[in-house]
Chain A
């Protein structure tokens, strides 16, 4: 009773404010709390005793709880922001800095075509860095990795998609630079007045040096701090660069570092040579962007098309299939689908016909043998550090022809 009197007092104390609860009715509770719970009869309610006597309300058959969640919540920006850990936040800030540097280079590159081309490269780097950061942050969430019905492979494929979009940017940038270059040449050939009117004064030595220094610094920080381009580079190895030391073996870093170093040397040259070299560097950068973009687009596009283009590609798959067919107990391989889902996951779905005499124990061993075989042959090896996981599914059918 004392507990009931407390709210009553509270109510009278706060009487100045309109109280939605009518505490006066508490007096009623002096009578026993027995209410009309048991008195509502009728078979409108499934759990009433009347309903239990007939079969109108049937329970649905018991179903096992679903193995997978139907969908996991996709994080909003707010949630993502909240989930940031300290170093992730630092990385995020750095990603913003990288973008800012790219914009800075773009606006400082007014006079020099080469510097403008460089700014495109830095834009690409900044974009990739941003993708790296976003991927890192999204990794905090379950929806990213865990498979659900909605997203059978999690959201990790989104990174491939972002990479593909970035490769489109490379292609577009290459085209854009080429057309700029072409226009410049046309202008200078066509009429000289327009050319000179358009062209600003040759930019000062300090400006170009600053631009290239900023480019080099931001590239290095992103390369070491964010591991920028690391995963893309793994998918597409450029053989003639692989002998170079660590960062330079990555074609993207190589391009940026190489050309910014080259551009910092530009102001040392004479004016006529400068003009000529400026255009040349721009053309080379745009061609490099174009060819690199093409390779990236193909590498990522293969994944998006659900193909396996990795390690040894089709040849490797054929060899593995031949080996599987030669396993004892397997009559033939009826269908095989090898494909790469995202950077870290591949799937092998096999349908094999097994010979009649195989017992269950042998079947289990065969399955383990085959998945070990696929993982060893097509997984990215041991030393290289890249670990692609193969999820092998083996459907076995007993050979009916014998």
Chain B
């Protein structure tokens, strides 16, 4: 770390990359710099495992990429040129950067995303591996056996892609991306770690028979179709239907048999359904495109829903505790133990199904999403990617930030399950010992558990909603901002406000006002700063002002005079 400070921070992209990679970035996230969204996912796997087995080859490959990336930035708008350039020889600075990142990775072995690295010895000989890999190839790539060729291919894709992505954030684009990933998923389930590309973009191979049968019928209703087609919303939808059906049956049966326990439980079920409905809404909404009304899209909807769910759980736990104290105080006897037992066992069964659905997902998603962010980030701008990978890896729980919506729902179902378990246990205990206090006691315990489990969710989603920049990103951002002042013609800058964008990838968005020295052209300086920021992974709106023009509101907060040594010659 100290070394990175003393590096001369020129405007050269190499130096910058070296700098950023000296941070604890794991190989996997770093790899995202090189890989592309649009390429068939099988290729990615190839790359993935290539890292594990064939280091020489790896090196080659990485250098190609690194180099090309930096190049693509310097000519970021010349797509055709980027295509025609043969992969140049690796330069020493790249070698340096590369060798740097490897030991780092090895050290930070605790991260989930590193699983691919640690798992490599379990894969057998290279031969069997390549055989397996070949089976997974998509048709376009199936004839390519030479590694080098693969990489060329890959890298070209990368280029075109990054180019288009950085300009248009159309949702259609991200969809095509998800299709590209579909293939990967089918196997990724078998390797524990390779949930990486699951990331909410899995398609046909993962769909169950049931989904496949009903999908054609839903084409008529676009909303229903969009629910069924996405994995997250599909799971929520299925579980909600199950919950709702169970609620209806319970309410009907309770009404017929005049049983209060069943009826009040079905009311509870109804509330669960509402919570699930909100989650479903959030999952569908989050796919909506940006608009004038929502200039940054609906990326935060899922975080918001997760936050709401977390708060709801906290309130619920408080209420449960309150009621339990009341019951303990009054010594209310629990009646109709048998009925209660049956009802709660049924509830437990339903909730266990939900736990399995969301729990598995939850897990996979957690690991996957972190990757997917780094990934999509990487192809927009590779420098920013390394900054993002910091985000993933500096925080132990960095990957937890991904989909708060699913996490909230999972916690909700978990809370219900715990509630059912507590009722079962307390009825059993009560029937044995006959003390009325078991039930309130168990309720209190469960309430405490629910509260504690909801806490991290609330905090992490609150942080995101407050537009807080995560620590790792903050570090890079500071350096990037200092670099603005080094651009030619820039005197100073004011009101830099940057926040994470969670629509598509985790890019930084923001605003900065730049003061331009007398004698430098406004337009050119703006373009220079813009290019620089884009290269670093920041999509900013840049307002340029002439030095000495204090008309803008941003001058109010600025220091009265600019030190003379800050202006650079040009």
Contact = CB atoms under 8 A, between A and B. Distances in A.
Q: Do the two shown chains form a genuine complex with each other?
A: yes
Q: Secondary structure of the B side of the interface?
A: mixed
List of 9 A-B pairs having minimum Cβ-Cβ separation, nearest first = A337-B295, A152-B497, A349-B541, A168-B311, A64-B485, A306-B296, A393-B511, A64-B566, A165-B311
Interface string B507-547: 00011010000000011001000000000000001111110
7 contacts: A68-B496, A149-B469, A155-B466, A158-B462, A179-B264, A305-B301, A395-B526
Interface stretch (B26-34, B54-62, B344-352, B475-483): B475-483
A206 B260 CA distance: 34
Contacts of B142: none
B319 A157 contact: no
A212 interface: no
Contacts of B293: 307-308, 313-314, 317
B258 A152 contact: no
A365 B543 CA distance: 14
Nearest to A146: B557
Q: Secondary structure of the A side of the interface?
A: mixed
Given A317-B292, A363-B522, 5 more contacts: A61-B486, A164-B307, A187-B260, A305-B298, A305-B300
A182 interface: yes
Interface of A: 58, 60-64, 66-68, 70-71, 147, 149-153, 155, 157-158, 161, 164-165, 168-169, 172, 175-176, 179, 182-183, 186-187, 190-191, 194, 297, 301, 304-308, 313-314, 317-318, 321, 336-339, 347, 349-351, 360, 363-364, 367-368, 371, 391-398
B491 to A, nearest CB: 9
A304 B292 contact: no
B263 A186 contact: yes
B212 to A, nearest CB: 34
A318 B293 CA distance: 10
Interface stretch (B2-10, B219-227, B421-429): B2-10
B324 interface: no
Nearest to B475: A70
B300 A182 contact: no
B492 interface: yes
Contact of B295 (A157, A306, A318, A395): A306
A335 B316 CA distance: 44
Interface in B486-516: 486, 492-499, 510-511, 513
B139 interface: no
B434 to A, nearest CB: 19
A194 B301 contact: no
A63 B485 contact: yes
Given A360-B522, A391-B553, A395-B543, A60 B474 contact: no
Contacts of A317: 292-293
B151 to A, nearest CB: 36
B271 A61 contact: no
Contacts of B482: 63-64, 66
A314 B292 CA distance: 7
B507 to A, nearest CB: 14
Given A190-B258, A337-B295, A157 B511 contact: no
Contacts of A397: 523, 526
Contacts of A308: 293
B9 A60 contact: yes
A307 B495 CA distance: 21
Contacts of B264: 179, 183, 186
A183 B267 contact: yes
Nearest to B541: A349
Contacts of A191: 258
B276 interface: no
A334 B292 CA distance: 12
B304 to A, nearest CB: 6
Nearest to A365: B551
A161 B460 CA distance: 13
B213 interface: no
B294 interface: yes
Given A61-B8, A194-B260, A371-B553, A71 B474 contact: yes
A58 B8 contact: yes
Contacts of A194: 260
B415 interface: no
Interface in B281-328: 292-296, 298, 300-301, 304, 307-308, 311-312, 315-316, 319
A393 B541 contact: yes
A384 B298 CA distance: 31
Contact of A306 (B258, B294, B549): B294
Given A60-B5, A347-B511, A153 B543 contact: no
Contact of A305 (B304, B526, B563): B304
A153 B466 CA distance: 8
B264 to A, nearest CB: 6
Contacts of B513: 393
Interface string B10-25: 1000000000000000
A394 B467 CA distance: 22
A43 to B, nearest CB: 16
Contacts of A155: 466
Contact of B469 (A60, A152, A360): A152
A351 B541 contact: yes
B496 A67 contact: yes
B452 interface: no
Contacts of B558: 67
Given A67-B494, A183-B264, A393 B296 contact: no
A305 B301 CA distance: 7
B565 interface: yes
Nearest to A198: B332
A354 B496 CA distance: 24
A152 to B, nearest CB: 4
Contact of A168 (B258, B308, B466, B499): B308
Nearest to A179: B267
B465 interface: yes
A179 B271 contact: yes
A359 to B, nearest CB: 10
B391 to A, nearest CB: 13
Contact of A367 (B481, B551, B566): B551
Given A61-B8, A150-B468, A168 B315 contact: yes
Contacts of A157: 465-467
Given A318-B292, A349-B541, A66 B486 contact: no
B146 interface: no
A165 B311 CA distance: 6
B109 to A, nearest CB: 29
A290 to B, nearest CB: 11
B89 interface: no
Q: Which of A68, A157, A313 has the most CB of B within 10 A?
A: A68
A361 B25 CA distance: 47
Contacts of B8: 58, 60-61
B385 to A, nearest CB: 20
B552 A339 contact: no
Nearest to A176: B319
Contacts of B271: 175, 179
Nearest to B298: A305
A392 B553 contact: yes
B481 A149 contact: yes
Contacts of B9: 60-61, 63
Interface string B104-128: 0000000000000000000000000
B384 to A, nearest CB: 16
A359 B10 CA distance: 33
Contacts of A321: 292
B455 to A, nearest CB: 13
Contacts of B6: 58, 60
Given A64-B485, A64-B563, A175-B271, A186 B296 contact: no
A248 B232 CA distance: 45
Given A64-B566, A364-B546, A393-B513, A152 B295 contact: no
Interface string B164-183: 00000000000000000000
A310 to B, nearest CB: 12
